[in-house]
Amino acid sequence: MPGPKAADQGREVRGRLLRVAAELIAERGWSAVSTRVLAERAGVTPGLVHYHFSSVHALLTEAAIGTMRGLVEGLGPLLEQAGTAEEALDLMLAALDEHDGRDPMSLLFAETYLAATRDETLRRSLAEVVTAFRDRLSRRLAAQGVAAPDQTAAVVAAAIDGLMLHRAFTPGLTAPAVAPVLRRLLDGRALT
């Protein structure tokens, strides 16, 4: 058996590289994250990056998907606690208020969306994460009698993402401003 002490340190460094990668994707953009900058910020030498990961792209993929999955799965339980559909929407609006389109998490999402259009593997992983969240939201809406819950959940999720993108260059787009409009999306109770 190899030394467990060294193995622990190795895992720690690997995790640090993943966290740094998520930061740098947001700061510099997916394709501008380089081996050397990653290593420097993680406090290791460049060679280590290709020891722990098969390529920079693989590191970025694991970092992005892992971070996004963590956030989405953290949001899930909160969604279950929401009594009404309006409360569920309020939860999404709170997320909108925390992210102005230029913060690390917003940028990580947007960068990953774009990178996914050019990489089949990433696209599948991303679809998994987003679909899982959308299904949770859909079930929540269905339980509240909202019509066409799947489509409604898809539109709400897309609208929140789109609003974050637009907020980056349209400051006035705050949660309180758009909340009344978004609430109309839940008004389809008597329809099909």
Partner DNA sequence: AAACGCCTTGGTCGATCGCCCAGGGCGTAC
Partner DNA sequence: GTACGCCCTGGGCGATCGACCAAGGCGTTT
Q: Which parts of this chain interact with a copy of itself (CB under 8 A)?
A: 29-32, 101-102, 107, 110-111, 113-118, 123-124, 126-127, 130-131, 148, 151-152, 154-155, 157-163, 165-166, 168-170, 173, 177-178, 180-182, 184-185, 187-188, 191-192
- DSSP code of residue 43: T
Q: Which is nearer to a copy of itself, 14 or 100 (by Cβ)?
A: 100
Q: Please give the DSSP secondary-structure letter assigned to residue 141.
A: H
Tokens of 109: 């999402």
What residue 127 binds from a copy of itself, DNA, none (CB within 5 to 8 A, per partner kind)? a copy of itself
Q: How far is the CB of 60 from DNA (least distance, A)?
A: 9
Q: Which does 185 bind (CB under 5 to 8 A by kind): a copy of itself, DNA, none?
A: a copy of itself
**How far is 30 from 21, CA to CA, in rounded Å?**
9
In the bound state with DNA, the residue whose beta carbon lies nearer, of 47 and 172, is 47
Which CB, 34 or 144, lies closer to DNA?
34
What residues make contact with DNA under the rule CB under 7 A?
Answer: 1-7, 9-13, 33-37, 44-48, 50-52, 55-57
SS3 148: coil
Q: Which one of DNA, a copy of itself, none interacts with residue 44, CB within 5 to 8 A by kind?
A: DNA
21 with 53: CB under 8 angstroms? no
Q: How far is CA 59 from the centre of its chain?
A: 16
| Secondary structure (DSSP) of 56-114 | HHHHHHHHHHHHHHHHHHHHHHHHHH--SHHHHHHHHHHHHHH--SSSHHHHHHHHHHH
Residue 189 touches which member of DNA, a copy of itself, none, C-beta under 5-8 Å by kind: none
